[in-house]
């Protein structure tokens, strides 16, 4: 049995192999270099060079993010927990007193053809008037409100009248928004 004969490679083949080795090994050269710690900073990095894919998992923590640098648009819906979390800033001065026990009370005048009609509603004891309003029930468009106003800290009043012709039956409803002022 004859042995396998080995021939010398041609000079062109040697040059081609060396060129291929240089091309393929050239990119790995930088990884072999010893780069001193903290020698690469923002000056050396090109804009957009560090992407999400290039960051290690959990490499960026809340301690490494500058306050106020993230926007709502930086988060997906449902990504943030509901309610206050994390460290809170210093407490500010207490705010002005607020409202509690807010309720709506109303009354309606008699439903007949008498004109004009007035109605008023007072807030329950211990509460103050913070808003109110009135509406005409029936008689449209021949009945209109002629007055709707708060009369003091506790009462809301309204008056309506027929504006054109006889209307069989209509009424005025007055409502007040009442609350305890803390």
Domains detected in the chain: 99-181 (2.60.40)
* Residue, of 163 and 5, whose pLDDT is higher: 163
Three-state SS at 131: strand
Residue 118, beta-bridge partner list: 159
Local structure of residue 178 (DSSP, 8 states) = E
Q: How far apart are the first and last CA of the chain?
A: 110
Provide the pLDDT confidence category of residue 2 given band limits of 50, 70 and 90.
low
What pLDDT, on the 0 to 100 scale, is given for residue 11? 86
What are phi and psi for residue 135, nearest 5 degrees? -150, 155
Token reading at 122: 């007072």
Question: What is the pLDDT of the chain when averaged over all its residues?
Answer: 82
The total of other beta-carbon atoms located within 10 Å of residue 181's CB is 11
């Amino acid at each position: 049995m004859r042995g396998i004969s080995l021939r010398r490679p041609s000079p062109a083949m040697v040059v081609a192999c060396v060129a291929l080795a240089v091309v393929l090994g050239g990119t790995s050269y930088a990884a072999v270099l010893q780069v001193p710690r903290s020698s690469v900073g923002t000056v050396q990095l090109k804009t957009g060079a560090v992407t999400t894919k290039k960051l290690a998992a959990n490499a960026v923590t809340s301690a490494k993010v500058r306050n106020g640098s993230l926007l709502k648009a930086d988060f997906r819906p449902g990504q943030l927990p509901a309610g206050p979390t994390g460290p809170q800033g210093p407490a500010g001065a207490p705010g002005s007193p607020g409202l509690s026990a807010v309720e709506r009370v109303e009354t309606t005048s008699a439903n007949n053809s008498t004109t004009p009609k007035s109605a008023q509603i007072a807030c329950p004891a211990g509460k103050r008037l913070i808003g109110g309003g009135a509406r005409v029930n029936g008689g449209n468009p021949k009945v209109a409100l002629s007055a709707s106003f708060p009369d003091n800290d506790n009462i809301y009043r309204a008056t309506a009248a027929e504006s054109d012709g006889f209307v069989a039956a209509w009424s005025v409803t007055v409502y007040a928004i009442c609350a305890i002022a803390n």
